[in-house]
């Protein structure tokens, strides 16, 4: 699970104007001065709240135009007047930040568009996500411990030498790996830990990671089977430790692959006899 650099929002109100405009006809809706001010204040409040819901994010003064602003999201789709914004947001993540492996081809509204209509095209309410994660997340707004972390605002430990919150317990029997991920951390707030757990369970990642784990581990096959002799197990363990640390540096401390490697290096049975795992890749 990742966090992302927040997208620029200096053009956010210009993007509203673009979404409402039409080339050969009057604007879809002409915002009043009071509505423009309310949109400016709304976006500022979203920043102050770091995307967390309060009643002020549904201002009464925008009641008359909120459905129009809701419908402006269609302009972010391919062929719309804000198509370039869509492209910039999607290229902000090479992989889905919710699962860490899916292709981010969709935009998820962190605060649901159906309830926070005036935020429908605010860039920092739009999170790149793969289709499976977007569907599984649903349209519920975060509340207490039940909710997703905000990929643009959450302050999570990510230096490779920090304490991770994502852990993997790996067991190995007769050529079969069993990997169970869990979330815990000594200093993160209880709400943050509970939200991370909620997100992990809601997205069914312990189940969904099975296939990418297999593909990832096969990418390490040549190296792991290259160690021979009486010290082979010890060398494999050392190799996995080195790779886990490098992966954490390159892709984040809590990337699922870094967590998996940390767990795998502690699995003595795999380090002793990995050969059985690699015998038949087609069955997995």
Q: Which residue has the tokens 């602003």?
A: 69
In the predicted structure, residue 73 carries a pLDDT above the cut 50: yes
* Alpha-carbon gap, residue 276 to 108, rounded angstroms: 41
Question: What average pLDDT score do residues 171-190 get?
Answer: 95
Supply the mean pLDDT for the chain. Answer: 95
The model's pLDDT over 210-265, given as tens digits with 9 standing for 90+, comes to 999 999 999 999 999 999 999 999 999 999 999 999 999 999 999 999 999 999 99
In the predicted structure, residue 33 carries a pLDDT above the cut 70: yes
- By C-alpha distance, which of 182, 178, 174 is closest to 275? 174
pTM score above 0.75 = yes
Question: What average pLDDT score do residues 38-50 get?
Answer: 98
Q: In this predicted structure, what is the pLDDT of residue 282?
A: 55
**Non-local CB neighbours of 43 within 8 Å, separated by 6+ positions:** 9, 12, 13, 122
In the predicted structure, residue 2 carries a pLDDT above the cut 90: no
Q: How many CA atoms lie within 13 A of 38 on its CB side?
A: 19
* Alpha-carbon gap, residue 111 to 127, rounded angstroms: 10
The band of 157, judged by pLDDT with boundaries at 50, 70 and 90, is confident
- By C-alpha distance, which of 132, 120, 130 is closest to 151? 130
The model's pLDDT over 122-131, given as tens digits with 9 standing for 90+, comes to 999 999 999 9
User: Dihedral of CA 119/124/130/133: which sign?
Assistant: negative
Question: What average pLDDT score do residues 98-105 get?
Answer: 96
The model's pLDDT over 158-174, given as tens digits with 9 standing for 90+, comes to 777 789 999 999 999 98
């Amino acid at each position: 699970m990742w966090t992302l650099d927040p997208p620029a929002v200096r053009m956010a109100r210009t993007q509203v104007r673009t979404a409402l405009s039409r080339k050969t006809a009057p604007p879809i809706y002409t915002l009043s001065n009071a509505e423009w001010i309310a949109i400016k204040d709304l976006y500022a409040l979203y920043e102050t709240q770091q995307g967390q819901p309060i009643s002020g994010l549904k201002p009464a003064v925008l009641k008359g135009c909120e459905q129009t602003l809701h419908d402006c999201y269609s302009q972010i789709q391919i062929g719309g007047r804000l198509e370039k914004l869509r492209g910039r947001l999607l290229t902000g993540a090479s992989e889905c930040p919710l699962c860490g492996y899916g292709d981010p081809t969709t935009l998820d509204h962190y605060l649901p568009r159906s309830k926070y209509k005036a935020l429908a095209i605010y860039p920092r309410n739009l999170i790149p996500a793969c289709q499976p994660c977007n569907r599984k997340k649903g349209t519920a707004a975060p509340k207490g411990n039940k909710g997703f972390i905000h990929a643009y605002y959450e302050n999570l430990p990510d230096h490779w030498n920090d304490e991770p919150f994502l852990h993997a317990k790996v067991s190995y029997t007769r050529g079969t790996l069993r990997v169970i991920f869990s979330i815990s951390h000594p200093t993160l707030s209880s709400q943050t830990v509970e939200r991370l757990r909620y997100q992990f369970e809601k997205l069914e990642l312990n189940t969904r990671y099975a296939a990418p784990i297999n593909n990832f581990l096969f990418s390490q096959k040549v190296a792991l089977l290259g160690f021979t002799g009486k010290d082979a197990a010890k060398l494999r363990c050392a190799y996995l430790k080195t790779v886990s640390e490098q992966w954490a540096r390159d892709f984040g401390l809590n990337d699922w692959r870094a967590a998996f490697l940390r767990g795998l290096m502690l699995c003595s049975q795999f380090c002793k006899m990995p050969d059985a795992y690699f015998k038949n890749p087609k069955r997995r």
